[in-house]
Amino acid sequence: MNVKQQTIQKKVSITGVGLHTGKTVSLTILPAPINHGYKFQRIDLDNKPIIEADVDYVVDTSRGTVLEKEGVRVHTTEHILAALVGLQIDNVIIQIDGPEIPILDGSAIKFVEMLEEAGIEEQQSLRNYYEVTEAIHYRNDERNIELAALPLNDYRLTAMVDYNSSILHSQHAQLHAIELFKEQIAPCRTFVFLHELEALFHAGLIKGGNIDNAVVIVDREVTEEEVENLSKLLNKPKIKVGQTGILNDTPLRFPNEPARHKLLDVMGDLALVGRPLKAHILAARPGHTPNVELAKKIKKQMLDSAKSAPQYDPNLPPVYTLTEVAKLLPHRYPFALVDKIVYLDGQTVVGIKNITMNEPQFTGHFPDNPVMPGVLQIEAIAQTGGVLVLTSTGNPESYWPYLVSIDNCRFYHNVVPGDTLIIRCSLLIPMKLGVAKMHGEAWVGKKLVCDVNMTARLVKKAK
Do the strands 155-161 and 277-284 form a parallel or antiparallel pair, or are they unpaired?
Answer: parallel
Q: Which residues pair with 141 in a beta bridge?
A: none
Q: Residue 264: CB partners within 8 Å, gap ≥ 6?
A: 78, 79, 82, 107, 108, 185, 186, 188
Single-letter amino acid, residue 59: V
Q: Residue 33: CB partners within 8 Å, gap ≥ 6?
A: 7, 91, 123
288 part of the active site: yes
- Scored b (16 or more CB within 10 A) or e, 57-92 reads bbeebebbbbbebeebbbbbbbbbbbbbbbbbbbbb
Catalytic residue, chosen from 176, 365, 413, 439, is 365
79 part of the active site: no
- Scored b (16 or more CB within 10 A) or e, 176-197 reads eebeebbebbbbbbbbbebebb
Of the candidates 191, 202, 157, the residue with the CA atom closest to the CA atom of residue 176:
157
Quick check: 168 and 217 in contact, CB under 8 A? yes
Phi and psi for 321 in degrees, rounded to 5? -80, 175
Catalytic residue, chosen from 75, 79, 288, 439, is 288
Do the strands 145-150 and 348-354 form a parallel or antiparallel pair, or are they unpaired?
Answer: unpaired
Alpha-carbon torsion angle 12, 14, 19, 22, nearest 10: 130
Quick check: 5 and 35 in contact, CB under 8 A? yes
Quick check: 275 and 149 in contact, CB under 8 A? no
Instruction: List, by residue number, the catalytic residues.
Output: 288, 365
